[in-house]
Structure 1
Amino acid sequence: MSKAPAWFSRRPVMRPCPLTCQKRLSELLRVDNEMAPCLKIALMSTMMRRLLTTGLLYLLAVTVFAQSPEFNEPWKNPNVALAIDPFEGNAIDWAKLATDKRVVAIIHRATIGDRVDKKYAERKIEAKKRGYKWGAYHYGKPGDPIKQADFFLATVKPEPDDLLALDLESTDFDKHMSFEEARVFINRVKEKTGRYTVVYANNLVTRAIAEQVGETDVFAKTYLWYARFKRRVTDFPAGAWKTYTLWQFSSEMNCTEANREACLYTVPGTAYDMDVDVFNGTIEELKSKWPFAQSYSLKSVGSPR
Structure 2
Amino acid sequence: MISRRLMLGGLAGMAAPALSGCGGRPASVSPSYYMPAPGSGEAYRPSVEGLDAVIDISNNVTVGDFRQVRRAGILGVIHKCTEGGDWIDPSYSSRRAQAEQSGLLWGAYHFGTRQYSGSDQAMAFLAIARPGPQTLMALDLEPNERNPRNTMQIAQAEAFVQVVYQQTGRLPLLYTHPKWANGERFGKHRLSLGQPVTPGSVLARCDLWLADYREEPEVPYAWANKGWRLWQYVADETEADAAYGTTPRAIPGISHCDRNLFKGDESQLYRYWRSGGRTA
* TM-score, length basis structure 1: 0.64
Instruction: Quote the Cα distance in structure 2 between the aligned partners of 1:261 and 1:166.
Output: 24
**CA deviation map 1:180-215 (0-9, x unaligned):** 100001001111111111100012223238x73443
1:128 to 100, 103, 125: 100
1:180 to 155, 173, 176: 155
Conserved 8 A contact 2:135-2:276: no
Instruction: Give the letter for the 2:164 counterpart.
Output: V
Query: How much does 1:127 deviate?
Result: 0.8
Q: How does 1:4-19 map to 2 (within 5 A)?
A: none
Q: How does 1:96-175 map to 2 (within 5 A)?
A: 96-101=68-73, 103-113=74-84, 114-142=86-114, 143-170=116-143, 174-175=149-150
Conserved 8 A contact 2:54-2:75: yes
Instruction: Quote the Cα distance in structure 1 between the aligned partners of 2:234 and 2:255.
Output: 9
SS across alignment from 1:290: helix
Instruction: Quote the Cα distance in structure 2 between the aligned partners of 1:263 and 1:88.
Output: 28
Query: How much does 1:169 deviate?
Result: 1.6
2:31 to 64, 69, 72: 69
SS across alignment from 2:76: strand
Report the equivalent of 1:249.
233
Query: How much does 1:293 deviate?
Result: 4.5
In terms of mean alpha carbon deviation, does 270-279 or 147-156 score higher? 270-279
Larger RCO (alpha carbons 8 Å, 6+ apart)? 2
Name stretches of at least 5 consecutive residues in structure 2 with no aligned partner.
1-29, 34-44, 184-192
Question: What is the root-mean-square deviation in Å for CA atoms of aligned residues?
Answer: 3.1
1:231 aligns with 2:215: yes
Name stretches of at least 5 consecutive residues in structure 1 with no aligned partner.
1-67
- The count of aligned residue pairs is 224
Instruction: Give the letter for the 1:231 counterpart.
Output: E
Task: Point out the structure with max Rg over C-alpha.
Answer: 1
Q: Percent identity?
A: 27
SS across alignment from 2:149: coil
Conserved 8 A contact 2:208-2:223: no
Query: How much does 1:247 deviate?
Result: 0.6
Query: How much does 1:160 deviate?
Result: 0.6
Conserved 8 A contact 2:136-2:277: no
Question: Which of the two has greater helix per residue?
Answer: 1
* TM-score, length basis structure 2: 0.70
SS across alignment from 2:215: coil
SS across alignment from 2:210: strand
Conserved 8 A contact 2:174-2:206: yes
